[in-house]
Amino acid sequence: MAKDLKPKARLPRGLADRTGAELAATHAMLAKIRAVYALYGFEALETPAFEYTDALGKFLPDQDRPNAGVFSFQDDDEQWLSLRYDLTAPLARYVAEHFDALPKPYRSHRAGYVFRNEKPGPGRFRQFMQCDADTVGAPSVSADAEICMMAADALEAVGVPRGDFVIRVNNRKVLDGVLEAIGLGGEENAGRRLTVLRAIDKFDKFGVEGVALLLGTGRKDESGDFTKGAGLSERQAAVVLAMLTGAGVCADADGVKVELDGDVELAALLASNAAFLEGMAELNDIRMLVAAAGYEDRVKIDPSVVRGLEYYTGPVYEAELTFEIKDEAGRPVRFGSVAGGGRYDGLVARFRGEKVPATGFSIGVSRLLSALAALGKMDSDAEVGPVVVLTMDKEPSRIADYMKMVSDLRANGIRAEMYQGGGGMKAQMKYADKRGAPAVIIQGSNEKAAGEVQVKDLVEGAKIAASIADNAEYRAARPAQFAVKEEELVAAIRDVLERRAAPTLGLDD
């Protein structure tokens, strides 16, 4: 093939390859989360990676090629299909399609990759994994309170200590009331409301000044890209920011308090707004329920929580990690949000034409893994490699001997492989090292004649070698290498693995 016709090996922008250690840690973390979901009575569900485009609805623009925000393609029957943007819209489709057969409420959990056709950047990927749990068919905010408590239990189960996180709760009805009070009610303002909500959702990232720009004319980021703002007046933006910071709207055990820097007219509008008052009442109900269950130290009411998606209709919540890490400049910063969700009573209704209450939340898997690493709860060398049987002789009868050793180890639950390459002793040892092998098994002609094998403990050998002064001493010591009878091989390898005493799943228990 001509040089200029060869494809270039390159990873597409916004995507990432994942190797054994990270995958092992991910699987271990998800197993612990799923165990919590099962404890709460949620059952597993898996939906396909793509759906009919019209099923995803809210994320798509009104244009001939629906490719903004999602990756889409046209099937041979001229139907548009899109890679799923999240795991919630596919759940809504599944519930609507199997509505009569499912128990109501229907409680499920799902994990899988989702896809965003957006500009990639640092920490911003076009494919990433989420882990969701949802209750469909439960109208009471007790379902929302339970989801928040389950989120808290899941974080503790994977190793985030109590006190290092908080589940923050708000209500979109409260936000709707505020937006109505500043003149953004009605269908004609739906687009501006969504822009305002998405601006507020950037509070943790951009702070008050950044949100103020997004509420006004817009904001230019470090790369020079400009995000158009909501176009609010100074007075409208001030009300939104007062609510966001808790300076203007708050609720406690004594009820709702509205103070908008002397703006008596707007305060009166809020105090009599039905949606606002209903949202505040629901927040107080959630406060009471989590306190009764003993979660008041982990689940808190917070008026700054928004969630940027349009389909939320009631309580919304975020799981925020409160411990500090250091940024690139060595400055202490909080880790921030790793999960979020809320009530979406209108999503299933898109398919059925009737209101179907639902609530749920989603964990950002990669972000939570990063948090566990920052806490020292994840072993960076999570996956223990296989024991490697070296092929010292290449005759078929000897290869059969090596294959039997591997088979015996596997039959006893020990991860093992026979070297299948063409290299000699040095190349095979280098291979075992790259594989992270805890030990290698060596049997040349002399060992075979004696009915023995040599076992080399690579982990212990590395420790001993580091303390030996010169090559002569190293060769004399033959560090961590010993002979055993063939029939004692499995027991010897098991001893090596037990001495290693390293986590095999990637997370501290």
pLDDT computed for residue 124 by the predictor: 79
CA dist., res. 172 & res. 145, Å (int): 15
Q: How many domains does the chain have?
A: 2
DSSP secondary structure string, 342-363? Answer: EE-TTTTHHHHSS---EEEEEE
Strands of the sheet with 439-442, listed across from one edge: 416-418, 387-389, 439-442, 452-457, 481-485
Q: Is 130 exposed, middle or buried (0-12, 13-18, 19+ CB in 10 A)?
A: buried
Residue at 437 is within a domain: yes
Domain at 62, CATH number: 3.30.930.10
Indicate if the pLDDT at residue 173 is higher than 70. Answer: yes
Of the residues 349, 374, 399, the one at which a domain ends: 374
pLDDT computed for residue 339 by the predictor: 95
The shares of helix, strand and coil residues in the chain, as percent rounded to the nearest 5, are 40, 20, 35
Mean pLDDT within 252-279: 68
Verify that 267 and 325 share a domain, yes or no: yes
Indicate if the pLDDT at residue 140 is higher than 80. Answer: yes
Domain at 491, CATH number: 3.40.50.800
- 417, 389 in Cβ contact below 8 A? yes
Geometric angle at alpha carbon 292, from 290 and 298, rounded to 5°: 35
Indicate if the pLDDT at residue 372 is higher than 80. Answer: yes
Mean pLDDT within 408-416: 96
Residue at 368 is within a domain: yes
Task: Report which of 436, 489, 487, 428 is spatially closest to residue 458, judged by C-alpha positions.
Answer: 436
Verify that 354 and 445 share a domain, yes or no: no
Name, of 59-63, 143-147, 272-276, 351-355, the range with top average pLDDT: 143-147
CA dist., res. 306 & res. 19, Å (int): 35
Of the residues 343, 374, 405, the one at which a domain ends: 374
Distance of CA 41 to the CA centre of its chain: 21
Verify that 272 and 412 share a domain, yes or no: no
Sequence-distant (≥ 6) Cβ neighbours of residue 138 within 8 angstroms: 105, 357, 358, 359
Mean model confidence pLDDT for the chain? 85
Q: Is the whole-model pTM more than 0.75?
A: yes
Task: Report which of 306, 310, 250, 308 is spatially closest to residue 280, judged by C-alpha positions.
Answer: 250
Verify that 396 and 477 share a domain, yes or no: yes
Mean pLDDT within 471-485: 69
pLDDT computed for residue 480 by the predictor: 82
Verify that 52 and 153 share a domain, yes or no: yes
pLDDT computed for residue 471 by the predictor: 57
Mean pLDDT within 100-129: 91
Q: What is the pLDDT of residues 210-234, one digit of tens each?
A: 888 999 888 988 777 888 888 888 8
Indicate if the pLDDT at residue 297 is higher than 70. Answer: yes
Verify that 395 and 369 share a domain, yes or no: no
pLDDT computed for residue 489 by the predictor: 96
Residue at 505 is within a domain: no
Residue 137: pLDDT band (50, 70, 90) is very high
Residue at 2 is within a domain: no
Mean pLDDT within 365-376: 88
Task: Report which of 273, 257, 251, 245 is spatially closest to residue 182, judged by C-alpha positions.
Answer: 273
pLDDT computed for residue 82 by the predictor: 92
Verify that 55 and 160 share a domain, yes or no: yes
Residue 505: pLDDT band (50, 70, 90) is very low
pLDDT computed for residue 334 by the predictor: 73
Verify that 303 and 209 share a domain, yes or no: yes
Report residue 312 as tokens: 């939320």
Residue at 265 is within a domain: yes
Residue 249: pLDDT band (50, 70, 90) is low
Q: What is the pLDDT of residues 441-457, one digit of tens each?
A: 999 999 999 999 999 99
* Helix, strand or coil, per DSSP, at residue 98: coil
Residue 99: pLDDT band (50, 70, 90) is very high
Indicate if the pLDDT at residue 146 is higher than 50. Answer: yes
Q: Decide which of 261 and 63 is more confident.
A: 261
Owning domain of residue 221: 16-374
Mean pLDDT within 333-340: 84
Verify that 155 and 249 share a domain, yes or no: yes
Mean pLDDT within 78-90: 92
Mean pLDDT within 160-167: 95
Mean pLDDT within 131-140: 96
Helix (H) and strand (E) counts in the chain: 18, 20
Instruction: Please tell me what DSSP assigns to residue 406.
Output: H
Of the residues 308, 342, 374, the one at which a domain ends: 374
First to last CA, the chain: 52
- 214, 236 in Cβ contact below 8 A? no
Verify that 270 and 411 share a domain, yes or no: no
CA dist., res. 442 & res. 158, Å (int): 39
Geometric angle at alpha carbon 59, from 54 and 64, rounded to 5°: 55
β-sheet bridge partners, residue 82: 51, 72
Largest CA distance in the chain: 98
- 114, 127 in Cβ contact below 8 A? yes
Sequence-distant (≥ 6) Cβ neighbours of residue 104 within 8 angstroms: 136, 137
Indicate if the pLDDT at residue 40 is higher than 60. Answer: yes
pLDDT computed for residue 58 by the predictor: 54
Residue at 382 is within a domain: no
Q: Which of 181-195, 287-301, 312-326, 401-415 has the lowest mean pLDDT?
A: 181-195
Verify that 368 and 406 share a domain, yes or no: no
Residue 175: pLDDT band (50, 70, 90) is confident
Verify that 284 and 403 share a domain, yes or no: no
CA dist., res. 265 & res. 273, Å (int): 12
Residue at 7 is within a domain: no
Residue burial 217-256, b: 16+ Cβ < 10 Å; e: rest:
eebeeeeeeeeebbebeeebbbbbbbbbeeebbebeeeeb
Residue at 256 is within a domain: yes
H helix intervals, 85-218: 88-97, 141-158, 172-181, 190-200, 203-215
